[in-house]
Structure 1
């Protein structure tokens, strides 16, 4: 609707249609593994692990966009990785088990896919309006998702959704997806992908506080210290 009101240019060549289709596939996969991971881990753990996304963005930016990756950034990657091991292993990396910690592993992989998404998005946003890009992106995401949800169970879930459920969907759809994806695309067009990724510093803190307040999740000292180690590493990765 916003794209139509602002009279955005809707022209797009075949090559970039395919790029946005790839972007949509990555976005759908990213959301699916993150939501699946949340079933097997806490929201607080998820918040800290998602905080590693800027590291993946920096590494992929170095590989595909020729962005700088100096010794300080490399040391930051190592520090963040140590923090991640302590968080997932609850203080002992030897405790990490791919089955027992499947939720954490899926969330970590979703951080990597967000890095992939950001790199592809940057390439597209350099040539096209972010608003138009997101419009095409959401259309293609819907086309990918719909075939997997045309069944009686999904229809019944929608019909019997509570008012809180609808409010949650509107919040996730309009703000967490709509507005934030557009802002992210505009930011990627104007700045280096690593610098944009640095703003994800705030997400773990918001998630942990929210999880404690609304989900009554236990926030331990080890969790906070491990998370801060991750954030320190991410800070060094994005330090000029």
Structure 2
């Protein structure tokens, strides 16, 4: 894509170290997410990943000195309450690192994606998003090569079915390539909390897809916990000042 759009391939050495950090974060993020998915459902994963904007708000406070109002604080508490309800199935005594290891790995994945987004925001300010992603993927490939290039992996690739190749192409071109480029561009154009707000929709899409494609069981408690998480995330990203100014401008018209 970078070649097709005739991007400038000159390397900004100052940004290269930052992209290496991004690559390390991205590899770790994907590894714990894929591992976590082996021990939990796609539907629960969707809701837990929905916590990302909360982590982005907390990191935004630490890194960009973004404000943390009473409403945002309330939103964080509400979101974590929904998360605990989701993981515990309504029974706090059932939570432990062994039986819930998949959920905790996905939660770690959510946090690392927030870290990636905050770091990416800094990198994108000094480097074109398309080129950031190009060098990012090259570095990610180099990082994971020692752990993935072996006889077992080669045999797995050779014996991949047609559906397997379709899945890999879908994940590589759309879920990774296109999605990472659009995410990087969005972080360049908008505040991190505003970009994170678009993740509201991800859990709902995931739950619907999990039911249709994987035939996963969706419980009422899961939906309730998900709605509570979403409500918390909305509160985290709400901007009362802009709402008041908007209402005032409407009255003055």
Q: TM-score, normalised by structure 2?
A: 0.92
In 2, the alpha carbon distance for the partners of 1:68 and 1:184 equals 23
| SS in structure 2 of the partner of residue 6 of structure 1 | coil
1:8 touches 1:129 (CA, 8 Å); kept in 2?
Answer: no
1:57 touches 1:116 (CA, 8 Å); kept in 2?
Answer: yes
Which residue number corresponds to residue 96 of structure 1? 95
Q: What is the CA distance between 1:60 and its match in structure 2?
A: 0.5
| SS in structure 2 of the partner of residue 3 of structure 1 | coil
In 2, the alpha carbon distance for the partners of 1:230 and 1:94 equals 20
The 5 A counterparts of 1:53-202 are: 53-202=52-201
In 2, the alpha carbon distance for the partners of 1:214 and 1:4 equals 35
Q: What is the CA distance between 1:127 and its match in structure 2?
A: 1.5
Q: What is the CA distance between 1:195 and its match in structure 2?
A: 0.6
Q: What is the CA distance between 1:12 and its match in structure 2?
A: 3.2
Taking only aligned residues, the RMSD between alpha carbons, in angstroms, comes to 0.9
Q: What is the CA distance between 1:205 and its match in structure 2?
A: 0.6
| SS in structure 2 of the partner of residue 155 of structure 1 | helix
| SS in structure 2 of the partner of residue 5 of structure 1 | coil
Deviations 1:115-164 (A, max 9, x none): 11001100011111100101110110111111111111111110111100
In 1, the alpha carbon distance for the partners of 2:52 and 2:202 equals 11
1:125 touches 1:133 (CA, 8 Å); kept in 2?
Answer: yes
Q: TM-score, normalised by structure 1?
A: 0.97
1:85 touches 1:92 (CA, 8 Å); kept in 2?
Answer: no
Which residue number corresponds to residue 20 of structure 1? 19
Runs of 4+ in 1 over 3 A off after TM superposition: none
Structure 1: runs of 5 or more not aligned: none
Which residue number corresponds to residue 232 of structure 2? 233
